[in-house]
Homo-oligomer: A and B are copies of this chain.
Amino acid sequence: MTDLKSQISFFSSIRSHSIKSLLACIAVITLYAPLQARAYEDTVTKEVFEMPLFNTVGGQVIRSVRIGYESYGRLNAKADNAILICHFLTGTSHAAGKYQASDPQAGYWDSIIGNGKPIDTNKYFVLSSDTLVNLGVGDPHVVTTGPSSINPLTGRNYGLSFPIVTIQDFVRVQKALADKLGIKKFVLVMGASMGAMQAIEWATDYPEMVERIIPVTSSGFESNAYLIQTLHNWSYPIMMDPAWNHGDFYGKHPPTRGLSQALTEVTLSSRSPTWAQKLFANRIASEGQHPIQQWQNKYAIEETFAQAAEARSKISDANHFLYLVRAQQLFKAGNYADIQQAIERVQAKALFISAPSDLLFFPSYATSTVRALKEADKSARQIELVGSGGNLDGITEIESVADEIRNFIEH
């Protein structure tokens, strides 16, 4: 994810059928990270936060937790101008800016984070951290702890012996980081998809620390049955890949094939029919090789998705993917028997931003959550961004609601 040029050259080497499908290749991999001039002007540095011992929600212990984080802007003397950005399944802490001026692209929400932007780094100290079990372990800018890490007690990679972790665990690590940085409260906690889960978890677990939340493309306060099964289906190709070997593949051939298909399924779920039709329609992958003739002949969308996912799989870890799937299946803010107890705890004002064509975190999920918050006398409303590209519009089209975000933060 750090070198757009090499991605472009990778994809240029593929038999490319049109500029559109070339763009699509890149898009799938980079999740359409905005290519416009970056808003955050200072150079970003990756920092590392360490915890010698971390107790999981599930009752286990992880030693030597290391998590990467970055920040934009400065914490003020009162330590009351902080904003926390939480990332999505395939994301990292790189929400804005560049590590060096020559980086081909900036962080994923650079369009709304920076000097003079809605999340104004002249005013706010914006913090963003890699989650536990972050997917991109092969990205040199990601620092995370998960099944690919070395268990200090055995000297070997954890594999499936790594404790199952939850969104609440992600948030507890972030809380420890905030404590270490001296942050007393957050003006805002914001995130998309899995990041929205973390924002809601924050408002539930530490209500006195969170003034506002912006859950973008949100599940609401817990994962529902359809999402649980969708996540199950994503994880299946990995577990079917013999190379996965019940999670014990470190130092051997990793389950690239299964992980690639998993990422392909994530991409489809994260997009929309309108988006796919514009880029691919029913064009075939290679002229003269029609799918009516041979089993191996493909449509353009099949080939492009497979190639993009395979490239992405090279910096990703299959076990981390499974742990992220389980964390999202388990999501239940505050982990209360009744979700109403979680809702009652919230003190933050909430702005839910939905993507109208989202087929993963359907806009109706936010609608019913806002209704439940209002019925509990909480401040909550829902707006829709402008786009027809599905769930990933929450990343790529966030600028379409820039004014609403600015107003929400300032009032």
Point out residues on A near B: beta carbons under 8 Å.
57-58, 160, 164, 166, 222-230, 232-233, 236-237, 240-242, 257-258, 261, 264-265, 268, 271-273, 276-277, 279-282, 291-295, 299-302, 305, 326, 329-330, 332, 359, 362, 364-365
| Stoichiometry (number of copies) | 2
> What are the residues of chain B within 8 A of A233 when measuring CB–CB?
261, 264-265, 268
A224 shortest CB reach to chain B, Å: 5
- B57 in contact with A299 (CB, 8 Å): no
> What are the residues of chain B within 8 A of A293 when measuring CB–CB?
58, 164
**The 8 residue pairs across chains A and B that have the minimum distance between CB atoms:** A225-B276, A226-B273, A225-B280, A226-B276, A240-B240, A225-B301, A58-B292, A229-B301
Known A229-B302, A237-B236, A291-B330; judge A223-B364 contact (CB<8 A): no
Residue in B228, B232, B257, B362 whose beta carbon sits within 8 Å of that of A282 in the complex: B228
A329–B299 Cα distance when bound, in Å, is 9
What would 22 A/B residue contacts be, using CB atoms closer than 8 Å? A58-B292, A164-B291, A164-B293, A224-B273, A225-B273, A225-B280, A225-B301, A226-B268, A226-B272, A228-B280, A228-B282, A228-B299, A228-B302, A233-B261, A233-B264, A236-B237, A236-B261, A240-B240, A240-B261, A273-B365, A291-B329, A299-B329
> What are the residues of chain B within 8 A of A276 when measuring CB–CB?
224-226, 229
- A295 in contact with B160 (CB, 8 Å): yes
- B330 in contact with A229 (CB, 8 Å): no
A282 shortest CB reach to chain B, Å: 6
> What are the residues of chain B within 8 A of A292 when measuring CB–CB?
57-58, 164, 166, 330
A166–B292 Cα distance when bound, in Å, is 8
- A224 in contact with B57 (CB, 8 Å): no
A292–B301 Cα distance when bound, in Å, is 36
A190–B295 Cα distance when bound, in Å, is 30
A100 shortest CB reach to chain B, Å: 36
- A332 in contact with B282 (CB, 8 Å): yes
User: Can you name the residue of chain B whose Cβ is closest to the Cβ of A228?
Assistant: B299
- A222 in contact with B268 (CB, 8 Å): no
> What are the residues of chain B within 8 A of A261 when measuring CB–CB?
233, 236, 240
Known A164-B295, A273-B364, A364-B273; judge A225-B282 contact (CB<8 A): yes
> What are the residues of chain B within 8 A of A224 when measuring CB–CB?
273, 276-277, 281-282
A293–B163 Cα distance when bound, in Å, is 8
A302–B272 Cα distance when bound, in Å, is 25
A230–B271 Cα distance when bound, in Å, is 12
A32 shortest CB reach to chain B, Å: 17
> What are the residues of chain B within 8 A of A279 when measuring CB–CB?
225
> What are the residues of chain B within 8 A of A302 when measuring CB–CB?
228-229, 232
A280–B268 Cα distance when bound, in Å, is 24
> What are the residues of chain B within 8 A of A300 when measuring CB–CB?
225
User: Can you name the residue of chain B whose Cβ is closest to the Cβ of A300?
Assistant: B225
Residue in B240, B264, B281 whose beta carbon sits within 8 Å of that of A225 in the complex: B281
A172 shortest CB reach to chain B, Å: 14
Residue in B229, B301, B332 whose beta carbon sits within 8 Å of that of A268 in the complex: B229
> What are the residues of chain B within 8 A of A226 when measuring CB–CB?
268, 271-273, 276-277
A240–B265 Cα distance when bound, in Å, is 15
User: Can you name the residue of chain B whose Cβ is closest to the Cβ of A332?
Assistant: B282
A295–B227 Cα distance when bound, in Å, is 18
A227, A268, A273, most chain B CB atoms within 10 A: A273
Given A224-B273, A226-B273, A226-B277: 11 more A-B contacts, CB < 8 Å: A57-B292, A160-B295, A164-B291, A224-B281, A225-B300, A226-B271, A232-B302, A237-B237, A240-B241, A240-B261, A291-B329
> What are the residues of chain B within 8 A of A272 when measuring CB–CB?
226
> What are the residues of chain B within 8 A of A299 when measuring CB–CB?
225, 228-229, 232, 329
A270 shortest CB reach to chain B, Å: 12
> What are the residues of chain B within 8 A of A362 when measuring CB–CB?
273
